[in-house]
Amino acid sequence: MKKLTILLLSLLTALFLAACGGNDSATDDKEIKLGATAGPYSDMLKKIIIPQLEEKGYSVELVEFSDYVQPNVALDNGDIDANLFQHTIYLENFEQQNNMDLEALIIVPTAPMGFFSNSLSNVEDIKEGATVAIPNDPSNAARTLSTLAKQGLIEISPDVEELKASEKDIVKNDLNLVFHPVEAASLPRQIDSVDISSVPGNFALAAGLKLTDALFLEDMPDQYRNVVAVKADNKDSQLAKDLIEIVESEQFEKKIDEEFEGFGKPSWMSNR
């Protein structure tokens, strides 16, 4: 009987300790790490998202990365709980190439490509033979040509997908625009040497350019707007729900308007 009593007491003690451990785990769920590349999206986390998470009881550490590979590697490894730095197309390609299962939770306002000029004041000033510096990578080049087409400056073959267009797909160029493909990071430095330089938003901001000073801005497709991402296993977690709630809040949009002037809003935000 004595042995049975000791055994029962041992089992009850183990159950009690397990219950205590469960409470500790619940507390740990509020200690999170968010990742971003240094720049505007790290700032978006610092200025808007993290303060609202802290109001919800989270303890948040921000991890900044210097490249576009490690934030997803860290997310997949569980070293961070969510990241904000990439658009949907990049995320989907990265998943496929690296056998990962990540999930885009929600699209956030994103810095569009800006078309900058030191010699022109508006689109009507563009003359025949004007020089245009464009990114030399296929993805950003397609975005550039699509924007020029929407401005009525060129026409692209209807037989090609808008996000895959290249110079060879231009079927009408009445102004005989002369394109100079260069590395995207160097486009801010081209502004002084060409009539127009198309600068991706992140490089424009890094160079100290104001998006609102651009001759015109890209009306970017949602596929090129950045997303908050998590591991697919965590897409229904409380953290995921809280992140979505924060980004959908009026407070978030108000702060975007105040702190991130010129950022293009996703369709879900513009249409509500």
Whether domain 114-219 has CATH 3.40.50.12160: the reply is no
Residues of the chain with pLDDT under 50: 1-27
- The phi, psi pair for 181, rounded to 5°, reads -70, 130
Listed residue (42, 34, 44) closest to 255, CA to CA: 44
Angle in degrees, CA 197, 148, 164, rounded to 5: 100
Domain segments of the chain as ranges: 28-110+223-270, 114-219
Contact 64, 40 (CB under 8 A): no
At residue 163, the pLDDT reads: 83
Whose CA is closest to 154, among 177, 186, 183, 132? 177
Q: Please work out, in degrees rounded to the nearest 5, the angle formed at the alpha carbon of residue 90 by the alpha carbons of 151 and 245.
A: 90
- Cα→Cα distances 198→30, 135, 141, 238, 266, Å: 42, 7, 9, 40, 21
77 within 8 A of 102, measured Cβ to Cβ: no
Q: For the stretch 238-266, what's the b/e string if a residue is b when 16 or more beta carbons lie within 10 angstroms of its beta carbon? A: ebbebbeebbeeeebbebbeeebebbbbb
* CATH code for the structural domain at 28-110+223-270: 3.40.190.10
By DSSP bridging, strand 131-135 and strand 196-199 are parallel
Q: How far is CA 211 from the centre of its chain?
A: 16
- Where do the H-state alpha helices sit in 29-105? 40-44, 50-55, 70-77, 88-98
pLDDT score at 15: 40
Helix runs in 104-237, H state only: 138-150, 201-206
Residue 207 in 3-state DSSP? coil
- The predicted model scores a pTM of 0.81
Contact 39, 65 (CB under 8 A): no
